[in-house]
Chains A and B, each alone.
Chain A
Amino acid sequence: MTRFHLNGRDVEVTPRVGERLSEALRERLGTRDVKVGCNAGDCGACTVLLDGAPVCACLTPVEQVDGRTVETLAGLVKEEPLAGELGKRFEARGAAQCGICTPGMMVSAVALLRDVPEPNEQEVKDALGGVLCRCTGYAKIIDAVMDRGVVAGADALGHAGAAIEKLDGEPKVSGTELFGDDVAPEGTLVVKLVRSPHARARFEFGDLDGYAERPGIVAVLTALDVPRLNRFGTIPGFIDQPVFAEFETRFRGEAVAAVVGEPAVMAVFEPNDFPVTWEVLPPAEGIEAAMSDEAAQLHEGHEGNVMCGGFVTHGDAEAGLAKADLVVEDRFETSYVEHGYIEPEAGFAQMVGDRLEVHACTQAPVMDQDTLVDVLGMERDKIRIVPTATGGGFGSKLDVSVQPYLAIAALKTGQPVRMAFERWEVMQATTKRHPADMRVKIGATKAGRISGFRFDGLFNTGAYASWGPTVANRVPVHASGPYRVADYRAEAKGIYTNGPPSGAFRGFGVPQAAVAQESLFDRLADGLEMDRLEFRILNALENGMPTVCGQVFEQGVGIKACLQALRDPWKTERAEAARVNALEGPVRRGVGVAAGWYGCGNTSLPNPSTIKAGIRADGQVVLHQGAADVGQGANTVIAQLFATALGVPVGALEILGGDTDVTPDAGKTSASRQTFVTGNAARLAGEAMRRELLGRVNAGPEAEIVLLDGAVELYDGDRVHRIELRALEADGEGYVLRAEETYDPPTKPLDENGQGVPYAQFGYAAHLCVIEVDTGLGTMKPVKFVAAHDLGKAVNPLLVEGQVEGGIAQGLGMALMEEYLPGRTENLHNYLMPTIGDMPPVETLIIEEPDAHGPYGVKGLGEHVLIPTAPSILNAIRDACGVEMTRLPVTPSRLKAALKEMEDG
C-alpha cells in the first residue's frame, strides 16, 4: 500500500512492483491529464511535480512517492492561481496546438515560475528542455511562460482575419482534454499486438489455444479472425497491408496476432512469451537492394518491387539542357523520418447494440469507417467513428492504426476494449516519410533562365503502399518548385522494400524533391554569378505562366511576392554574416534561401467536404464540423469561416463534431485541404443559411443578423425583421432551419504526360535561414528563420504563425538530426527531434495574394510550412562553409567528414 498526497487529497494505491507512477495516476487514480508519450523519460509529457520538483512519472516507481506530494496539471490548475494564469497565457498565444505536451510543459513551467516569477529565455529553455513538442516549434510556449509576445485579440466577431484564441483551447490547458488513450473506462479489456522482430520472416504459431487459456487472457486474434478482408490501405488498387500478416511478415514491427486480456494481466504483457516461431528470410533493405535481381518480390504484380510511378513532361527537357549555358546535377538522398507526434496511437471500441463504436485519435474518421466496412464486412451505418482529441498527426494518423484491432476485438469478445501503442510500436510500425534517392539535372542560360530540368527519383515506400502512390504522383508535379520551367521531365517511382511503410508526412514527397531542386538552384546562381535570391525571383512563376503540368493560373500565384518579401532580410542577414565572418575563428555564418509550393487538396481527384449547420428553436446556431482537428486549428478556423459567411459572432456558435453519426464527411485532414476545401463548404453553408434567413423576410444583403432566445432579428437599414423560431417546425435533429453544403475543388485529370489541372490552387512559400557552422566540430546552430507564406488570406494569423513555427521545427529536424533506422533508432533518445533549445526565432511574413477558389481568398498552409525549410538550411550551410551536403540528415559527423573532404581536395 502506498499513500500519498495527490492534487490536494490523500490517496492510497496498491501497485504492482515496479509499476510506473504514470500508470497508477492514470489507471488507478483517474488523473489522465498525465500523458504518456514514451515511457522512457525522453518526451516529458508525463511530467508531474514530486514535492515540487518536476520528474517524469513514467520513470518513478509508485512506491517511491509514499508519503510525498504529487501534483499534476489538473490539480495545479484547480489549486494554484499561477497555473490557471499560465493556462490563459498559453491560450492567448496559441501555445497549445494539439495539447498532448501541454501538461508536461505547463507543469514544468509552474515549477519554474514558483521559483523564478520572471524568468529569462534561457531559464525557460532549461526548465522546459525535457518536454518535447512536435506542433508549435516552441516559440509560443516560451512566450507564454515569459508572458510576452503577440496575444490573441479580443475580436467580438472573430471572423476570417481575426487572430482569436482557439475555440477548443481551454481543455488543453486545464488537463481535461481527452486523447485516444483517455476515453476508456477503468477496467476495460486491453488489446496488445505481437509484432515481427524481423524485417522479413515466415512464422508459425504454437499453442494458441493454450495461450488463450492463461489466466486473464480473453482472446487471441490472428488473420483467421478477420471477418472479411484482411487488408487495409488508402488508395484504391493499393489496398495491400494485412491487418495480421498471414504467412510472412514484410517489415520489422508487422503485427501477426493480437492478445485481448484483463488490464492487470495485459499491463505486464510480454510479447516474447507469445507462442510464435520465426524463420528469418533475407530482407530487401533499401531501394537498391529491393531493385536488385536477388531481391524477393514483395507483392504480386509488382515486378522489380516497383509499386507505381508518376510522370510529368512539359516541353523538351533534353533540348532545354542542351541549349543551357550551365548545367548542374547531383544525387540527393534523404532518410526515413518519423512523424514524432507525442501521442502514441490509441483508442477504445465497444459494441452498442449491433453497432460498433470506435473512439480513437485520427486525421480521417470517414476513411477509418471505409476501412472497417471492408475489413469487418459490416454495413457503414453500423459503424460509428468518434475521433478523440488527436495529439498530433502530420500525416501518419490518416492511416488506420489501432482501429481494425479494436474493432475485431470488440466484435469477437463482445466487450469494450482499448489499445495504445507503445513508443517502440509507433516507431516500428506507423508510417514514415519516404526515404528518397533523387538524381536531378538542371540547366540555365547566361541570362539566368532555367533551361531544361530533369528529375529522377526513387522513393522507398516500405513494405506496403499506404500513401506511396500519392507521393509518386505528387513529386513530378512539384519537383520544379514554384518556377517557370519550360522544358521539364520528372519521374518518380515508389519502391517496395522490407522497411516500415512510408506514407503521408507533411508534403507527400515534395520536401524531399525541394531539397534537390533548391540546392541546385544555388549552384546555378553561383555559376552564373547571380544573386541567389534574385535568380529565384527571375524564374518565379507568375500569373498567366504555365506550370510544368501546363496549368495556367490567371490569378493567385504568390511566389514572387514571397521571395520579394525576403529581399530586405536577405540583404541585412548577408551583411551581418559578412561581419561575423570577418572575425577569426571556427564559426562561420551563412544565409540560405529556398522556396516551395504545394497544390492544396487531392491530385486530380475529387475530394469533397460537407458542412452542416442548423438553428434550433431556441435560437442556437449549431455547426457540425467534421474536419479533424489534430492541433492545427480546424475547429477554430472552420467556425470562423462559417461565422463570417453567416454574419454572426463565432462565439455564438455551438460546435459539434468529429463523429460520423453527427458530422457529414469533411474529408481527411491532409494535403493542406481543410481550410480551403472544408472552409469553402463552411462558407457555402453559412451563406446558404444567411440566404434562407434573409429570404424569409426579404431583407437586403447587408442585413445584420442578431440571434436571440427563440428568435432571429435582422437589422436592415432602418427596418428590423423578426423571425420567431419557436413558430417553426423542428426537424428530427431539432433544427427549425438548416443548411448543408458541399465543396469539391475543380480539377482535371492529368494525361499520360502529366499535363492537366491537378489542383484548383497552390500555396507558396519562401524561407530564409541563418545558420552558424562550427567548422571545427561540424556542429550547426540555426540562428534565425524568416518565413514568407502566401496563404491567400490568413483566417487566423495567430494560428498561421503557429503552423509556420511548427513546420520549420519539423523541417529543421529533417535537415539536421532525424533518421529512423529500424532496430537502431526505435525510441526518442536515439531518434532525435528538435527540443526547445534547438529552435531559433522565426519571423513569419504573411503574404495575402487571394485565390479565386479559396473561401475569402484562402489557400492551404499545412504542408507549405516545412517544404522550403530543409533546403534553406542546406543552402545556409553551403553559404557558411562551402560544403554541398546531399544526404539528410546533416549530422555533425557527416558535415565534419564533408568539410574534411573539401579541405583535403
Chain B
Amino acid sequence: MPEYHLHTNEFYLSCRGTTLDYHAPGSLDEALGLLARKNMRVIAGGTDVYPAMAAGGPGTNLLDVTGIAGMRGIDRTSDGWRIGAATTWSDVARAELPRAMAGLQAAARQVGSLQIQNAGTVGGNICNASPAADGVPPLLTLGAEVEVAGPGALRRIPLQAFLKGVRQTALAPGEMVVALHLPEPPVGAVGLFDKLGSREYLVISIAMVAMVVGCDAQGQIERARVAVGACSPIAMRLEGLEAEMIGKRPDEVVVEPDHLAGLRPIDDVRGSAGYRLEAVREMIRRMLAEGTP
C-alpha cells in the first residue's frame, strides 16, 4: 500500500500559502463569520500550533484570535471571574487573584518557559486538549466553565465536559472558545499546584496535582477540590477523595489507592503507569501535609 499521495499542483500551490489567508479580526462577530468558512484554523499564541504543524505549512487559513476585543484579560464578574481565552499564562501569573487561584498561577509559571508563557494562552491550552495540559487540573479545581461562541447562541460548558478526550473537545464546527468563567471561590480557600517532571523548566509533566481546599474555623476541611493531570486521557477530579476530605483536618486525610481508581495512566518515555499513580498519591499527601491552610 503506497504511503504517499501525489497531490495536484493546485494543492501544492495552496500549501505554499499563496491561496491561503491569515485573518486577525478585531471583533467576535467578524471572527465567527470567518470561522463559518471552510478550512479555517484558530491560532492564538502558536505554542501548540507550530510544533504540530506539518513541514508543508498549515495547509489551512489561519484565524488569529488574539486581537479580538475582550478576548484577553482577567476580570471580576458579578459571580466570579472571567478569563479571556487569549489571556496569556504570563497575564495569569502576574494578575492579582484570590488565594484559591494560587494553584492556577503556580501552573502558569510552570508552563514551558517564560517565552511560552508570554505567548501561550489559557484558551489554547484547553483547546489543545493534551492530557498533560498544565492549566487544566487547576481550572478543574476552580470549577471552570468554558464560554463557547458559534453560529448559535453563546453556551457555557463545564470544562470537564468540554474536554472529550486526547486532543478532542466539545467544540462544534464554527465554534470557538471565548472565555473561561470561574465561580467566586470560597473566602479563605487556598489553591495549590504541583507538577512532577524529569527536569526544571521546559518539561512535560509526568503527573500533576491541583487542589483547592478551604477549612472552617476549627481547621476542618469544608471544601475540597482535587484534580490530577497527565494520568488519564483527560485530567480529572478525584471526587471520592474530595468527599472524604470534608470534615477532616488536612493532616488526617489518608489517600487510599481506591481514591485514584478512576485514573488511567499510561506507560511512556516519561514514566510508567505504576509510577504515575504512586507519585500522584505522594504528591497529594504532601500537599495536604505541607500546603493547606
Chain A interface (Cβ < 8 Å from any Cβ of B): 16-20, 39-42, 44, 47, 50, 53-56, 58-61, 63-64, 66, 108, 125-127, 129-132, 197, 206-207, 214-215, 264-265, 267-278, 422, 776-779, 816-817, 819, 821, 824-825, 827-830, 832-838, 891-893, 896-897, 900
Listed residue (A197, A269, A838, A893) with the most chain B CB atoms within 10 angstroms of its CB: A893
- Is A66 touching B16 in the complex (CB atoms < 8 A)? no
Chain A residue at minimum C-beta to C-beta distance from B268: A824
The smallest C-beta distance from B270 to any residue of chain A, in angstroms, reads 7
Cα distance, A407 to B8, chains bound together (Å): 31
Q: Beyond the given A130-B112, A837-B199, could you list 18 further A-B residue pairs with CB under 8 A, ordered by the A residue number?
A: A17-B62, A19-B57, A40-B50, A41-B51, A44-B115, A56-B47, A59-B45, A59-B46, A108-B115, A126-B114, A129-B113, A132-B202, A197-B3, A206-B2, A270-B54, A777-B279, A819-B269, A896-B279
- Is B16 touching A206 in the complex (CB atoms < 8 A)? no
- Is A56 touching B115 in the complex (CB atoms < 8 A)? yes
- Is B270 touching A893 in the complex (CB atoms < 8 A)? yes
Chain B hits for A61, CB < 8 A:
22, 43, 46, 62, 64
- Is B269 touching A825 in the complex (CB atoms < 8 A)? yes
Given the interface pairs A61-B46, A66-B24, the reply to whether A17 lies near B58 with Cβ below 8 Å is yes
Q: Does any Cβ of A come within 8 Å of B153's Cβ?
A: no
User: B55 contacts which of A58, A270, A779, A896 (Cβ < 8 Å)?
Assistant: A270
Chain A hits for B283, CB < 8 A:
777
- Is A832 touching B46 in the complex (CB atoms < 8 A)? no
Chain B hits for A829, CB < 8 A:
51, 202, 204
- Is B200 touching A837 in the complex (CB atoms < 8 A)? yes
- Is B282 touching A838 in the complex (CB atoms < 8 A)? no
- Is B198 touching A832 in the complex (CB atoms < 8 A)? yes
Cα distance, A270 to B11, chains bound together (Å): 12
- Is A892 touching B196 in the complex (CB atoms < 8 A)? yes
Chain A hits for B20, CB < 8 A:
16-18
User: A275 contacts which of B6, B53, B114, B286 (Cβ < 8 Å)?
Assistant: B6
Cα distance, A265 to B269, chains bound together (Å): 36
Chain A hits for B4, CB < 8 A:
206, 272-277
Chain B interface (Cβ < 8 Å from any Cβ of A): 2-7, 9, 12-13, 15-18, 20-22, 24, 43, 45-47, 49-51, 53-58, 61-62, 64, 66, 90, 109, 112-116, 118-119, 196, 198-204, 206, 269-272, 274-275, 278-279, 282-283, 286
The smallest C-beta distance from A843 to any residue of chain B, in angstroms, reads 21
Given the interface pairs A17-B21, A61-B43, A824-B269, the reply to whether A779 lies near B196 with Cβ below 8 Å is yes
- Is A59 touching B119 in the complex (CB atoms < 8 A)? yes
Chain B hits for A47, CB < 8 A:
115
- Is B55 touching A269 in the complex (CB atoms < 8 A)? yes
Chain A hits for B58, CB < 8 A:
17-18
Cα distance, A727 to B286, chains bound together (Å): 83
- Is A777 touching B282 in the complex (CB atoms < 8 A)? yes
User: A268 contacts which of B56, B112, B199 (Cβ < 8 Å)?
Assistant: B56
Given the interface pairs A17-B17, A271-B55, the reply to whether A42 lies near B269 with Cβ below 8 Å is no
Q: Can you give 11 contacting A-B residue pairs, CB < 8 Å? A: A41-B51, A54-B115, A59-B47, A129-B202, A130-B115, A267-B16, A267-B57, A273-B5, A275-B6, A835-B201, A891-B271
Cα distance, A63 to B43, chains bound together (Å): 11
User: A270 contacts which of B15, B22, B200 (Cβ < 8 Å)?
Assistant: B15
The smallest C-beta distance from A670 to any residue of chain B, in angstroms, reads 28
Listed residue (B55, B109, B113, B279) with the most chain A CB atoms within 10 angstroms of its CB: B113
- Is B269 touching A830 in the complex (CB atoms < 8 A)? yes
- Is B50 touching A58 in the complex (CB atoms < 8 A)? yes
Chain A residue at minimum C-beta to C-beta distance from B53: A18
- Is B199 touching A19 in the complex (CB atoms < 8 A)? no
Chain B hits for A275, CB < 8 A:
4, 6
- What does DSSP make chain B's interface, helix, strand, loop or mixed? loop
- Is B199 touching A832 in the complex (CB atoms < 8 A)? yes
Given the interface pairs A130-B202, A838-B199, A897-B275, the reply to whether A268 lies near B51 with Cβ below 8 Å is no
Cα distance, A824 to B271, chains bound together (Å): 13
Chain A hits for B53, CB < 8 A:
18
Given the interface pairs A17-B20, A64-B24, A835-B200, the reply to whether A55 lies near B118 with Cβ below 8 Å is yes
Cα distance, A891 to B61, chains bound together (Å): 42
The smallest C-beta distance from A338 to any residue of chain B, in angstroms, reads 13
Cα distance, A777 to B286, chains bound together (Å): 11
Given the interface pairs A108-B114, A897-B275, the reply to whether A821 lies near B269 with Cβ below 8 Å is yes
The smallest C-beta distance from A804 to any residue of chain B, in angstroms, reads 21
Chain A hits for B118, CB < 8 A:
50, 53-55
Chain A residue at minimum C-beta to C-beta distance from B58: A18
Chain B hits for A776, CB < 8 A:
282, 286
User: B115 contacts which of A55, A278, A819, A835 (Cβ < 8 Å)?
Assistant: A55
User: B12 contacts which of A197, A271, A273 (Cβ < 8 Å)?
Assistant: A273
Cα distance, A779 to B286, chains bound together (Å): 14
Given the interface pairs A130-B112, A270-B15, the reply to whether A41 lies near B50 with Cβ below 8 Å is yes
- Is B21 touching A270 in the complex (CB atoms < 8 A)? no
- Is A278 touching B17 in the complex (CB atoms < 8 A)? no
Listed residue (B20, B64, B118, B202) with the most chain A CB atoms within 10 angstroms of its CB: B202
- Is B201 touching A18 in the complex (CB atoms < 8 A)? no
The smallest C-beta distance from A280 to any residue of chain B, in angstroms, reads 10
Chain B hits for A828, CB < 8 A:
202
Chain B residue at minimum C-beta to C-beta distance from A107: B115
Chain A hits for B56, CB < 8 A:
268-270, 273
Chain A hits for B286, CB < 8 A:
776
- Is B202 touching A835 in the complex (CB atoms < 8 A)? yes
Chain B hits for A60, CB < 8 A:
46, 119
Chain B residue at minimum C-beta to C-beta distance from A211: B6
Given the interface pairs A40-B50, A54-B115, A270-B15, the reply to whether A130 lies near B201 with Cβ below 8 Å is yes
* Complex A-B, nearest 8 residue pairs according to Cβ-Cβ distance, in ascending order: A130-B113, A837-B200, A129-B201, A16-B17, A270-B56, A893-B271, A40-B51, A17-B20
Chain B hits for A64, CB < 8 A:
24, 46, 64, 66
Chain B hits for A827, CB < 8 A:
51
The smallest C-beta distance from A595 to any residue of chain B, in angstroms, reads 27
Chain A hits for B57, CB < 8 A:
16-19, 267-268
Cα distance, A897 to B279, chains bound together (Å): 11
Chain B residue at minimum C-beta to C-beta distance from A833: B199
Chain B hits for A126, CB < 8 A:
109, 114
Cα distance, A891 to B198, chains bound together (Å): 7
Cα distance, A225 to B193, chains bound together (Å): 58
- Is B275 touching A896 in the complex (CB atoms < 8 A)? yes
Given the interface pairs A269-B56, A897-B272, the reply to whether A16 lies near B16 with Cβ below 8 Å is yes
- Is A54 touching B7 in the complex (CB atoms < 8 A)? no
- Is A893 touching B206 in the complex (CB atoms < 8 A)? yes
Chain B hits for A817, CB < 8 A:
198-199
Chain A residue at minimum C-beta to C-beta distance from B273: A893
Cα distance, A838 to B202, chains bound together (Å): 11
